[in-house]
Structure 1
Amino acid sequence: MICPKCGAESDKSIKFCVHCGSPQLHSAETQGPEPETVARKPAGNHGLIGYSERINDPAFASYRRQTTAWSFIFAGILAVIVIVSFYIYGENSSEMDNPQALYIGLGIGGMFLSIALLSTISRMRVKGWDGVVIDKKKEKKTRRNKDSNGQYYEERYTLYTVVFKTDRGKIINKSVDDDDTVFNYFEIGDQVRQHKGLGTLEKYDKTGDSIIFCNACSTLNDINDDKCYRCSCPLLK
């Protein structure tokens, strides 16, 4: 099948061009004319065709705020524990006195808070993009790990990778070890959108899917559910 927009050749079973993401004409030719094919709801409760407007629901902004708040609360608790522990150690140990022990505790506590700050900044800088799945890879790999006795051993694992090409031509690989859920969820030719500030992916055509990922916390949900059972954010369908 030759793409009418960019001229690239794609497999006949693919709904969208793997190079530019344009819909392939053979879909319309084989299925016949059908009104309102974009953003229509198929029979049953199996999702929508089109990117959901639910991403603008205030629940997502609230989730981002709560995630940031909990990051700093958790980091703050760890920082206090470390600072107090080092202070007590300095008061009771013959190996290290205060204020040296206290300074070390302050340094480690500050490191926890810095990590929380950098994580927050990283989430805020996540950019949104539209793209298409151009490849999927399943690789058997080996890595070295160290056990509790300090001995090295080899661990075998499977690396599942989904390759995306954005609308600006950038190639993005998303990989995970020993979990093929996302790998099986996407097919080559699927159009996807990464949402700004979240970093999660929404599939354009969810027709026929039995599962759907929450675009806030990435929890796996049933396609018939309306909200995520973990964070209560609306599911994008």
Structure 2
Amino acid sequence: MFCPQCGKENEAGARFCGHCGTTLVQPANEPAPERQPVPEQPVTPAEPVRIVDLTRADAGVSPGLKWGVIAASVVFPIVGIGMGLYYWMRAESPEKLATGKTWFFVGLGIIVFYLSLGTEQY
């Protein structure tokens, strides 16, 4: 079907011109395209919703992350303090709260240790 306004060709059965937006009139001798029936598909049940229990042991922090942050705190104590405050303030479980406090105090302890190395004693 051609647009009467701009002359561009459009899909058969289009209501508007794809180029200029003019309303297209269906010719009287050309029937509107029929909709094809959609074949029925079997209904599959949805996946069950998994409820997370925050009191379980696996709701905590992995051992690798625990030791990794502590090791990073030795070189960059601000990592331990930052991660510790983050986990301390956003604790979702008692284990995460304890881990956050540990990281915070390890980072703070490392800073105090580094500062004590830098002071001169007379």
Same fold (TM over 0.5): no
TM-score (norm 1): 0.17
More strand by share: 1
TM-score (norm 2): 0.25
Task: Say which one has the larger Rg.
Answer: 2
More RCO (CA 8 Å, sep 6+): 1
More helix by share: 2
